[in-house]
């Protein structure tokens, strides 16, 4: 018998059960480690841009929602699975927009205002 039968259903972490804040925070913490600490001299590497932070956070959130959708679907919770799939899609679109902004910044292209 698989362990899944004995596993309890995951509980929502934050933000009304979406888990967005936790996923965004983990992406932010990872990329924050890449930035130089305050007061230290930078040697050739510019700080990671806000667009990279945002893209990473939204990619993390999208991945979280895809995993949650898969779990809910496996439990027969199709309505919840669909809600998580929509959230994953929304975060994917936001991640794409921030990724495009980060690429434009790296290429020295003017930033678009929305």
DSSP character string of 63-84? HHHHHHHHHHHHTT-HHHHHHH
pLDDT of 77-111, one tens digit each?
Answer: 999 999 999 999 999 999 999 999 999 988 888 76
What are 49-61's pLDDT values in tens digits? Answer: 789 999 999 999 9
Q: What percent of the chain is predicted at pLDDT more than 90?
A: 46
Separation CA 26–CA 49 (nearest Å):
16
Torsion of CA 24, 27, 29, 35, to 10 degrees: -130
- Find all residues with CB under 8 Å of 27, minimum gap 6, and list them: 53, 56, 57, 58, 59, 60, 61
């Amino acid at each position: 018998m698989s362990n899944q039968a004995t596993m309890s259903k995951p509980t929502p972490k934050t933000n009304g059960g979406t888990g967005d804040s936790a996923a965004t925070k983990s992406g932010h913490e990872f990329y924050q480690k890449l930035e130089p600490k305050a007061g230290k001299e930078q040697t050739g590497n510019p700080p990671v841009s806000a667009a990279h932070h945002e893209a990473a956070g939204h990619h993390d959130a999208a991945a979280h929602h895809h995993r949650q959708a898969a779990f809910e679907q496996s439990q027969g919770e199709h309505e919840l699975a669909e809600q998580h799939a929509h959230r994953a899609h929304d975060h994917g679109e936001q991640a794409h927009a921030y990724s495009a902004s980060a690429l434009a910044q790296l290429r020295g292209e003017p930033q678009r205002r929305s």
